[in-house]
Amino acid sequence: MVRPIYYGLSALAGLLGWPIFYWRLKSRGRGESFSPRLGLRLPSLPRGTGGPRLWLHGVSVGEISAAAPLVEELQKQFPAAPIFLSTGTETGQAMARKLYPPPLTVIYFPLDWPWAVRRYLEHIRPDMFIALETELWPNFLHAAHSFGVKLALVNARLSDKSFRRYLKFCFFFSDIINYFALIAASTAEDARRFQALGARPEKVVVTGSTKWDRLVAPQHSEKIPKLRRRLGSQDNLIFLAASTHPGEELVIIKAFQALRVPYPNLLLILTPRHPERAPAVGQLLAQAGLSYHFWSQIKTGKEGRQHPVLVVDTIGELFSLYALADLVFVGGSLVPHGGQNILEAAAWGKVPLYGPHLENFRSAQALLENVGAGQTISGVEDLIRTGEHFLGHPQEYLARGQQGQAALQNLQGATQRQVQLLNKLLP
C-alpha cells in the first residue's frame, strides 16, 4: 500500500515540481542536467554489443572517483560490453567525464519520477544496475526490478544519520532494499545496519570499499614533480585545507595567519568542496588581507606563483595535492556536514586533522586514530596549536602518517571481492 502512495506523490511532484528543480539549478549557475534528469533528453547509446549491459551510478564526485578500480576491472572482464556511468550532480558529471573517456558512456541519473525512470530503462535496457554507496530510489528500483534488471549495491554504507532516518521508515524500505540481489557492505557495522532495515542476511556480504583500493598513492606519483614546479619555491612548507565548506574557511584563514608568524615560508592551498565557491573564498582571503592565486591560472601557466595562498577552482586535483602537504585539514567536519574522506590524506602518509562532525566517516576515523594517524581539533586555537606541533616535529608527523598508510593498505582488495560476487549474478 505504501509504495503506490509514494508513486502517486512522486508523479504529482514531477508534474508540479519541475519549475522548482529548474530554479534551483539556475540559482547555482547550472542547468545542463535539467532536461536529461527529467527524461526529456536521453543519452546516446554506445556501439558495444558484446557481453552484459552494465549501468553504474554514483551521486557525485566522491562516489564517482571511488568507482575507478571497479570500472577498470569490469572493463577488463567485459571488454566489448556497453558500460554506462550515471551521476546525480553536474559536479559529479564533470568528474566522470574527466575520469572515464569513451567507450564508457557518462550519463545523468533520472529524477525518481515515474516517466523519467521508465524512459531511461527502456532506452538503456541494462542487464545489471550497480549503485555505488547507498542510493535507494523507490520508483527506479521497483521499475528496474520489474524489467528483470539485476540490482547490486556496492561500497554500501549507512552513516549514523542515514541509519536513523531509514530506520524510521523501515516498514517501507525493507521491501525496497530487498530488490537488491547483492548488498556489498563496506564494514561489518554497515552490514548489521542493512539487516536491521530488513535486508535478508543472505544478500549482505562484507567486502570493504573500492575507495580503499583507489587510495594507492604511487599510482599518482608521476604528477608530483610537475605540481612542485608549478608552486615555485621548493623551500616552502604547505598547509592544505581540503574539501572545505562555508563556515570553515574563516577558521583556516585565521589559523594560517597565526602559523605564518613562526613559519613565514608557509603556503596555504585552500580547496573548497564545491569549486564554484572559489570566488567567494577569494573574497574572504582579500578581506583578511591575503593575496592569492586561483589554481586554474597556476596550472595552465598563465601566472607564476607569487602569493602565499592558492584557491583550487578545478576538480580532480585534490588527491595528488595531498602529496605536497606538510599539514592537512579535511573539511566538512567543523560544521555539521558529516565530514569528507580522510583516508585520501592517509594514503599519502599524511595525518589528517578534522573537526568533531565526522559522522559519515566514523569507521575511517577509528581506523586512523587507533594507530595515531588522525586527530580531531575543536576550533581555530586547537588547529593553531596542533599545526605548530606538527610543523615543528616533522619526524613525528612522518612516523604517524606511515602508521596510517600501513593500516589503509591492510584494507585493500574490495574490488576483486565485489567483481566475483557481481559475476555470480550475471547469466
10 Å Cβ neighbour count for 393?
12
Q: Quick one: which H or E segment has residue 23?
A: helix 2-27
Q: Omega before 103 cis (within 30°)?
A: yes
**Please, which residues have CB within 8 angstroms of residue 100's CB and are 6 or more apart in sequence?**
71, 85, 106
**Whole-number Å distance between alpha carbons of 181 and 177:** 9
Residues 190, 177: contact at Cβ < 8 Å? no
* Torsion angle in degrees (nearest 10) through CA of 333, 318, 59, 219: -130
**E-strand stretches of 95-202:** 105-108, 128-132, 150-156, 182-185
63 given a catalytic annotation: yes
Q: What's the angle, vertex CA 66, arms to CA 191 and CA 345, rounded to 5? A: 100
- Beta carbons of 147 and 73 less than 8 angstroms apart: no
Are 53 and 43 within 8 A, CB to CB?
no
Q: Which residues contact 47 (CB under 8 A, 6 or more apart)?
A: 82, 103
CA separation for the pair 329, 321 (Å, rounded) = 13
C-alpha cell at 305: 606563483
Please give the sequence-ordered ranges of beta strands (E in DSSP) within 109-164, or none if there are none.
Answer: 128-132, 150-156
CA 285, 286, 287, 290 torsion: positive or negative? positive
d(CA 128, CA 147) in angstroms, rounded, equals 11
Which residue type sits at 7? Y
Cα 117 from Cα 139, distance rounded (Å) = 7
| Secondary structure of residue 242 in the 3-state scheme | strand
Bridge partners (DSSP) listed for residue 67: none
The one catalytic residue among 32, 63, 72, 90: 63
DSSP conformation class of 355 = -
Give every CB contact of residue 365 below 8 A, 6+ residues apart in sequence: 339, 342, 354, 358, 374, 376
Compute the distance between CA of residue 263 and CA of residue 35 in angstroms, rounded to an integer.
Answer: 51
Give catalytic residue positions. Answer: 63
